[in-house]
């Protein structure tokens, strides 16, 4: 049975992981930054080493294309992920999917195989959404979800403009996003959660992805002296925010979703002043659209109730709204069969995190392969997937790609 070059795969994961580390060892490669340019250059060099044609589209997505005269008129099988990171990140998130895709193609080519259809590995721009919003930007634009000319004008958290930064680092592409219509898309990724590690599962066959609703909530109260204002006479924006946080936890216990208040700010933010304003984010997720929508409606009703009981004023602003994404059942079954053929146990999974695959699912059959994340840690320098699990995932990836692309010996 053909297998990837595990040593090369791991060496490249570590090599890319070293790019973007500062003197304190903090790894950061924000989209279109100098450090991400270094990572992009490295990925392009590996694509060229595998004999792939490299194309960059106008949103900066990088594609390594393996095609021949015999198959170039057929729709390609596309694989890939991203290499941009959050601040102080781990080294596996996204990178395993890009490096694994290159490794799969190089393995097949080096072994003298040919493919009935082209195979393309992509590295999508700004999946994390840290410097520029929204996240999953490159794949969203590629799938036709946002116009490229509008997105290139996006202003980053540091005041930079995305289009100008892509040009500055040499990744202002010339072709239009969506220039290739994939037959299907498969993404290899770490789980970024604890389920596989806790249950001893080696391969996750990802059958769907949670819907994600983000909003920014502003609560207006009245600032007053913390010592002289009786409790029953307070209009405390901070207290209302705390109540919302607790309400969310109880809400998702019933619906089976998850909820997070990731950011909260008080004004005037003084130890002895009752907060006059609280600004908080709410991240609601559920793989069931009806339950997700119902949770959001219940939360909106609770805002009205709080306005009456706590005498505050509450407004909300929509930040992100992605519906749950079902993946292709046929591809999921292929993942399960490939894992079984290699003696690896599997589990059907839901992706709790947003992924490029959710955007590609808009335009073609899509699924994901998960490998374990030790203790579920991700977006953190302690993010870790054991070497043997990276290689095992890449081998299942190899088998699925080979079957879907019609790979055979010459």
* Same domain flag for 44 and 186: yes
In this prediction, residue 174 carries a pLDDT of: 92
Please compute, for residue 296, the number of CA atoms within 13 A of its CA located in the half-sphere on the CB side. Answer: 24
Distance, in Å, from the CA atom of 387 to the CA atom of 215, rounded to the nearest integer, reads 38
Distance, in Å, from the CA atom of 341 to the CA atom of 281, rounded to the nearest integer, reads 45
Distance, in Å, from the CA atom of 376 to the CA atom of 191, rounded to the nearest integer, reads 7
In this prediction, residue 197 carries a pLDDT of: 98
Distance, in Å, from the CA atom of 123 to the CA atom of 142, rounded to the nearest integer, reads 12
Strands 273-274 and 224-225: antiparallel
Contacts of 23 (CB under 8 A, 6+ apart): none
CATH number at residue 20: 3.40.630.10
Averaged pLDDT score across all residues of the chain: 97
pTM listed for this prediction:
0.90
Structure-token pair, residue 207:
């059958």
Per the domain annotation, does 301 fall within a domain? yes
* Same domain flag for 266 and 120: no
**Comparing C-alpha atoms, which of 240, 226, 203, 229 is closest to residue 368?**
203
Q: Are 169 and 34 in contact (CB under 8 A)?
A: yes
What is the extent of the structural domain holding 242?
211-322
Q: Are 104 and 405 in contact (CB under 8 A)?
A: no
Per the domain annotation, does 205 fall within a domain? yes
* Same domain flag for 164 and 219: no
Per the domain annotation, does 1 fall within a domain? no
* Same domain flag for 248 and 202: no
Distance, in Å, from the CA atom of 221 to the CA atom of 234, rounded to the nearest integer, reads 8
Distance, in Å, from the CA atom of 196 to the CA atom of 187, rounded to the nearest integer, reads 17
* Same domain flag for 215 and 318: yes
* Same domain flag for 253 and 144: no
Distance, in Å, from the CA atom of 125 to the CA atom of 130, rounded to the nearest integer, reads 12
**Which of 322, 342, 370 delimits the end of a domain?**
322
The pLDDT tens digits of the residues spanning 79-123 come to 999 999 999 999 999 999 999 999 999 999 999 999 999 999 999
**Comparing C-alpha atoms, which of 183, 102, 179 is closest to residue 142?**
179
* Same domain flag for 245 and 287: yes
pLDDT at 142 over 90: yes
Q: Are 37 and 167 in contact (CB under 8 A)?
A: no
pLDDT at 409 over 90: no
In this prediction, residue 347 has a pLDDT band, given cuts at 50, 70 and 90, of very high
The pLDDT tens digits of the residues spanning 173-190 come to 999 999 999 999 999 999
* Same domain flag for 232 and 292: yes
**Which of 292, 322, 352 delimits the end of a domain?**
322
Three-state helix/strand/coil letters over the chain: CCCCCHHHHHHHHHHHHCCCECCCCCECCCCCCHHHHHHHHHHHHHHHHCCCEEEEECCCCEEEEECCCCCCCCCCEEEEEECCCCCCCCCCCCHHHHHHHHHHHHHHHHCCEEECCCEEEEEECCCCCCCCCCCCHHHHHHCCCCCHHHHCCCECCCCCEHHHHHHHCCCCCCECCCCCCCCEEEEEEECCCCHHHHHCCCEEEEEEECEEEEEEEEEECCCEECCCCCHHHCCCHHHHHHHHHHHHHHHHHHHCCEEECCCEEEECCCCCEECCEEEEEEEEEECCHHHHHHHHHHHHHHHHHHHHHHCCEEEEEEEEEECCEECCHHHHHHHHHHHHHCCCCEEEEEECCCCHHHHHCCCCCEEEEEECCHHHCCCCCCCCCCHHHHHHHHHHHHHHHHHHHCEEEC
- 326 exposure class (CB count in 10 Å sphere: 0-12, 13-18, 19+): middle
CATH number at residue 281: 3.30.70.360
Q: Is the dihedral of CA 346, 190, 111, 328 positive or negative?
A: positive
In this prediction, residue 410 has a pLDDT band, given cuts at 50, 70 and 90, of confident
In this prediction, residue 168 has a pLDDT band, given cuts at 50, 70 and 90, of very high
Contacts of 14 (CB under 8 A, 6+ apart): 91
pLDDT at 314 over 90: yes
* Same domain flag for 264 and 387: no
* Same domain flag for 140 and 27: yes
Q: Which residue has the tokens 């055979």?
A: 408
In this prediction, residue 193 has a pLDDT band, given cuts at 50, 70 and 90, of very high
* Same domain flag for 83 and 147: yes
Per the domain annotation, does 138 fall within a domain? yes
Q: Which residue has the tokens 């930040």?
A: 319
Per the domain annotation, does 39 fall within a domain? yes
**Comparing C-alpha atoms, which of 234, 356, 251, 260 is closest to residue 297?**
251
In this prediction, residue 320 carries a pLDDT of: 85
**Which of 297, 322, 347 delimits the end of a domain?**
322
The pLDDT tens digits of the residues spanning 273-308 come to 999 999 999 999 999 999 999 999 999 999 999 999
The pLDDT tens digits of the residues spanning 25-74 come to 899 999 999 999 999 999 999 999 999 999 999 999 999 999 999 999 99
Question: How large is the average pLDDT for residues 150-168?
Answer: 98
In this prediction, residue 118 carries a pLDDT of: 98
The pLDDT tens digits of the residues spanning 316-338 come to 999 989 899 999 999 999 999 99
**How many domains is the chain partitioned into structurally?**
2
* Same domain flag for 153 and 34: yes
């Amino acid at each position: 049975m053909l297998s990837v070059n595990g040593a090369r795969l791991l060496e490249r994961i570590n090599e890319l992981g070293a790019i973007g580390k500062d003197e304190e060892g903090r790894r950061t490669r924000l989209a279109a930054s100098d450090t991400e340019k270094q990572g992009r250059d490295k990925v392009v060099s590996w694509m060229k080493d595998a004999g792939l044609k490299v194309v960059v589209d106008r949103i900066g997505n990088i594609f390594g294309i393996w095609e021949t005269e015999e198959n170039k008129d057929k729709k390609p099988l596309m694989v890939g992920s991203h290499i941009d990171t959050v601040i102080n990140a781990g080294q596996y998130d996204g990178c395993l999917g890009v490096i694994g895709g290159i490794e799969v193609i190089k393995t097949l080519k080096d072994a003298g195989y040919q493919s009935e259809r082209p195979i393309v590995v992509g590295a999508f721009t700004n999946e994390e959404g840290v410097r520029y919003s929204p996240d999953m930007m490159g794949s969203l634009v590629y799938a036709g979800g946002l116009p490229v000319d509008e997105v290139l004008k996006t202003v980053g958290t540091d005041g930079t403009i995305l289009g100008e930064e892509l040009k500055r680092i040499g990744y202002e592409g010339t072709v239009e996003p969506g220039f290739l219509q994939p037959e299907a898309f498969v993404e290899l990724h770490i789980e970024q959660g604890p389920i596989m590690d806790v249950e001893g599962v080696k391969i996750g066959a990802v059958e769907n992805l949670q819907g994600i609703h983000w909003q920014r909530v502003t609560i207006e109260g009245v600032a007053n002296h913390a010592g002289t204002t009786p409790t029953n006479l307070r209009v405390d924006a901070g207290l209302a925010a705390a109540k919302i946080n607790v309400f969310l936890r109880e809400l998702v216990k019933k619906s089976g979703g998850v909820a997070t208040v990731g950011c909260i700010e008080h004004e005037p933010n003084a130890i002895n002043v009752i907060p006059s304003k609280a600004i908080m984010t709410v991240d609601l997720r559920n793989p069931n659209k009806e339950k997700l929508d119902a949770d959001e409606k219940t939360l909106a009703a609770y805002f009205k109730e709080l306005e009456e009981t706590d005498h505050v004023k509450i407004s909300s602003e929509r930040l992100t709204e992605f519906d749950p994404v079902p993946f292709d059942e046929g591809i999921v079954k292929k993942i399960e069969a490939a894992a079984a053929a290699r003696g690896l146990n599997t589990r059907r999974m839901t992706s709790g995190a947003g992924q490029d695959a959710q955007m590609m699912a808009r335009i073609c059959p899509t699924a994901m392969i998960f490998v374990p994340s030790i203790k579920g840690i991700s977006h953190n320098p302690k993010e870790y997937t054991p070497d043997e699990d990276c290689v095992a995932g890449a081998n299942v990836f190899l088998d699925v790609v080979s079957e879907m692309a019609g790979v055979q010996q010459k």
